[in-house]
Amino acid sequence: MFDPYKIRDDFPILSTTVYGRPLAYLDSGATAQKPRCVIDKVAELMTCSNANIHRGVHHLSERMTSEYERARERVREFIGARSSEEVIFTSGATAAVNTVAYAWSARYLAAGDNILLSEMEHHSDIVPWQLAAERHGAQIRVLPFDDDGRLMTELLPELIDSRTRMVAVTQASNTLGTRPDLDAVISAAHAAGAVVLVDGCQGIVHGGVDVTELGCDFYVFSGHKLYAPTGIGVLYGRRELLESMPPFMGGGDMVDKVTFERTTYAPLPLKYEAGTSDFIGAAALATAMDYLSQFDASEIERHEHVLMMRAEEGLRRIEGLRIYGSCPDKCPIVSFDVEGIHNYDIGMILDKLGVAVRTGHHCAAPVMDHYGISGMCRASIAMYNTAEEIDRLVEGVARAVRMLGR
């Protein structure tokens, strides 16, 4: 059985006090805390190996280049890609989606085509597609979810047709925790000749992925939600698609030969890595993956699920409180509000009690519109959280409700 107390010392920030109280960090869905090995890796490389990659013959550059390319291979293993050339380093999932939305649409999207998005997408998987649709005269369609947070895949035959070119869907909702039936989405899209991009920001942390087995065409995630630093992310794409698409950005490292008459581009994966990459962040991402791989992923999932159920059971006893997202297999995210009380007010009181949660629309305004609300409180659970922290959350919300007059 997974024991969070055995790893908490690995995360230095968890010993922090907030307003004289121990920190209960329940905002890992926004960014996860970093284990000491990741922090040490960044410090080590900054101290001993810092040099730009790919363009130097001196020792430090060669050493850092090796670190960077080893990180790419580690990511390939972690996500089950066939080739490391299908792994593109970006600054995060937002940059990864924008890369596909721009480069793929330039090659494959035309006036009259349509793009299907799920109603539960993060803004980063909505706005880039809107921009692409505006550039090319395409239409955006929306696959809705029901009030339980279940994506209504039974509507796919009505929404996907011969002009559907792209389906973009989350692996797990950052707001509701819902895990859509990706097999149904991918099968329906491929049957119509469309391609599929999966936003794995939450899903890769809670359950993981094998992109080859999943069969998606693109997969994106951010390192900072996977216990790695900010500023590093990954775009996986099927080789034949990546090779057929034009570059997204131009600059150093993504070129083969440059003249004023014509420029030719570097082969994959450098074709999509213009400029100086976050080579230290990439190496630290590999270290985070190594750290996670020492544990049984299914045991971590069970631990997080037990904590989520404990939180939901306790919160449901509070009068006027509603939990959003009730699918039985959701990942450990508990989003809620209390009738007549603003979510910001609850969040601020929890903060004074040392409990960190996220408030607002969580970059998912269409989800808020679905329920007719302006925002929610969200507690997102990670491997290092404990039952005591969950109890502090429940007690803190109950106290906030009493203080705010309900």
Which amino acids are annotated catalytic?
A: 363
Q: In what order do the strands lie in the sheet with 233-237?
A: 87-90, 233-237, 218-222, 195-199, 164-170, 114-118, 139-143
**3-class DSSP state of 251:** coil
Residue pair 161/204 in contact (Cβ under 8 Å)? The answer is no
Longest dimension (CA), the chain: 71
**3-class DSSP state of 87:** strand
Q: Name, in order, each residue with C-beta under 8 angstroms of 274's C-beta and a sequence gap of 6 or more.
A: 247, 248, 249, 250, 251, 252, 253, 254
Q: Which tokens hold the place of 283?
A: 């190496």
Nearest by Cα to 86 from 289, 192, 240: 240
CA distance 275 to 295: 36
Residue 187: exposure state from Cβ atoms within 10 A (0-12, 13-18, ≥19):
middle
Residue pair 225/243 in contact (Cβ under 8 Å)? The answer is no
**Exposure b/e, 199-212, CB count within 10 A at least 16 = b:** bbbbbbbbbbbebe
State residue 142 phi and psi, 5-degree precision. -130, 125
CA distance 135 to 109: 9
**Sequence letter at residue 320:** G
**3-class DSSP state of 299:** helix
CA distance 279 to 52: 8
Rg (CA), the chain: 22
CA distance 298 to 301: 5
